[in-house]
């Protein structure tokens, strides 16, 4: 069972950085919010890059088989 969250507790939240403002402030999009929120970069404990999507090219054949 998850521990109950109370006032004053520190939490980690997942969001996507959509812009870095002048002075280093971050605009972060959080799930469930319509607009990005500006946060202080000192509040970020860790970050990681999202996995890159691999492009799958279709297999090409010079001479496709005939249905004769």
pLDDT in tens, 2-26: 678 888 888 888 899 999 998 899 9
Which position has the token pair 């870095």? 20
* 64 pLDDT more than 70: no
Comparing 19 with 49, which gets the higher pLDDT? 19
Which position has the token pair 């998850």? 2
Q: Considering only CA atoms, which of 39, 35, 42 is closest in space to residue 21?
A: 39
* 51 pLDDT more than 60: yes
pLDDT averaged over every residue in the chain: 84
How many Å separate Cα 37 from the centre of its chain? 14
What is the pLDDT, as a whole number, of residue 61?
Answer: 66
CA–CA distances in Å: residue 21 to residues 16, 26, 38, 39? 14, 6, 9, 10
Altogether, the residues listed in the chain come to a count of 68
């Amino acid at each position: 069972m998850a521990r109950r969250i109370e006032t004053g507790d520190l939490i980690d939240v997942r969001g996507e950085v959509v812009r870095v403002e002048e002075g280093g402030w971050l605009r972060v999009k959080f799930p469930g919010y319509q607009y990005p929120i500006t946060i202080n970069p000192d509040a970020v404990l860790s970050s990681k890059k999202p996995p890159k999507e691999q492009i799958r090219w279709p297999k090409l054949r010079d001479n496709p088989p005939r249905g004769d």
